[in-house]
Structure 1
Amino acid sequence: MKSDPKEHTREDVEAASYRFLARRDHARGELRQKLERYDFDPALVEDVLDELEARRYLDDARFARTQAALLAQRGWGPAQIAHRLRQRGVDAAVVEPVLDELAEEEPWPRRAAHYFEGKFGAPGQLEDRAQKRAFRHMVYRGYAPGLVRRLLFDG
């Protein structure tokens, strides 16, 4: 049930924002999308989001770092991490430095090798059909096809 945007006050927008932020950290774009469902006045939403950023309750860079680290820990590659962050409203200008930070901590080829070995075992021991399946899986997970080929065929 949607209501008239003029019925909502700034306090309504703030209360909804704090409810979402109490559950977990959000990106600005993601929180904006959730607030739009309530038919709040868009100018009022932007004003509240600006205030939340000023108070550091909302920080896209912090959100991107924590989400990217979590996804990388779960075996996702850089392309899939970037895609998921952009889906949640994080700007590409924020995503790229976060991916670079993760690569400095542990290079993507090493991350890919660890994930691959945990999922499929040693690359040299796979039969042709299993290699194709592993290749498709790794590319789906967000690793570059060239990196996966090197992992599979160069050992």
Structure 2
Amino acid sequence: MIGAITVCALDIETPDAAARKRAAASGKKAQAHIVLIDTDEGREPIAVAPRVARALRDEMPALPSSRESVLDAIAAIEARVCFAVAVDALSRRDHAEGELARKLRHAGYRSEAVDAAIARAREMRFVDDVRFASYYIEERKRAGWGRRRIEAELSRRGIDTSGIPGYPEEFFSEDEDVERAYALIARKPVSDIHGREKLIRHLVSKGFSYGVATHAVRRRMEGSPDL
């Protein structure tokens, strides 16, 4: 039985420069491996993030020990390191839960450690999707994004707008959208017969609805001295 295995040694293998380069070429992060060596000289490799392997070197569990005890020790180190990495990322900028989880998994942390880190960060209010979404929406509105583009980006970050209190009424109105859309094209030249279509396409590419884009462009054309 696997549960009766006794681990007598650990071999820690961290990625070298060549391994990191190969992983980067495929869009991944190179992982380290902790090899459990049992009393029969069997070897069981476990892939972990390099920071976990380095931490294990400083906190080597007492050996020989049961496989379960060694795995528990590794999992405890991984959970602590994963949370520290999450806090470090959040100290640089706010993240949505979904994007933070993807970043941690991409760095090589296993799902159990990631889920625990996210839950702890949520409990401590280090992450808050409603707070993140509220700031993000206002920031992107100031940057000239339309509602559709904002919603698409929130979805990509794992945020369901149906869970945001007061959405969309408290964040968007058609009159405000038209004003923001118009501001983007108020100074754009309109010098040929296809000018109207070009302006509409520009606004739609920014995430404004076709109706909002049409309204804003009509206003621009009515006041245009170019045609």
| 1:146 aligned onto 2:175 | no
Shift in Å, 1:52: 0.8
Query: Helix, strand or coil for the counterpart of 1:76?
Result: coil
Q: Answer with 66-75 or 86-95: which moved more.
A: 86-95
Higher relative contact order (CA 8 A, sep 6+): 1
Q: Deviations over 1:11-31 (max 9, x none)?
A: 110111011000011000000
Contact 1:13 1:35 in 2 (8 A): yes
The structure 2 residue matched to 1:100, chosen from 166, 169, 182, is 169
> Structure 1 residues 110, 121: closer, same or farther in 2, change over 3 A?
farther
> Structure 1 residues 117, 41: closer, same or farther in 2, change over 3 A?
closer
* TM-score (normalizing by structure 1): 0.84
The structure 1 residue matched to 2:202, chosen from 124, 131, 137, is 137
Larger Rg belongs to: 2
Query: Helix, strand or coil for the counterpart of 1:43?
Result: helix
Indicate the residue corresponding to 1:111 in structure 2.
Answer: 177
The structure 1 residue matched to 2:117, chosen from 48, 54, 66, is 48
Count residues in correspondence: 151
Query: Helix, strand or coil for the counterpart of 1:99?
Result: coil
Q: Deviations over 1:111-151 (max 9, x none)?
A: 3334424433499x775322111100111111111222233
> Structure 1 residues 120, 144: closer, same or farther in 2, change over 3 A?
same
User: Distance in 2 between the 1:16 and 1:108 partners?
Assistant: 41
Structure 1 gaps, min length 5: none
* TM-score (normalizing by structure 2): 0.59
Structure 2 gaps, min length 5: 1-29, 33-46, 49-70, 223-227
Indicate the residue corresponding to 2:129 in structure 1.
Answer: 60
Contact 1:60 1:94 in 2 (8 A): no
Identity of matched residues, %: 23
Query: Helix, strand or coil for the counterpart of 2:94?
Result: coil
Q: Which runs of 4+ in 1 moved over 6 A?
A: none
> Structure 1 residues 96, 82: closer, same or farther in 2, change over 3 A?
farther
Matching of residues 76-91 of structure 1 within 5 Å:
76-91=145-160
User: Distance in 2 between the 1:131 and 1:94 partners?
Assistant: 37
| CA RMSD, Structure 1 to Structure 2 (Å) | 2.5
Shift in Å, 1:74: 1.2
Shift in Å, 1:95: 5.4
Contact 1:77 1:108 in 2 (8 A): no
| 1:73 aligned onto 2:145 | no
Q: Give the structure with the higher percent helix.
A: 1
Q: Give the structure with the higher percent strand.
A: 2
Contact 2:144 2:184 in 1 (8 A): no
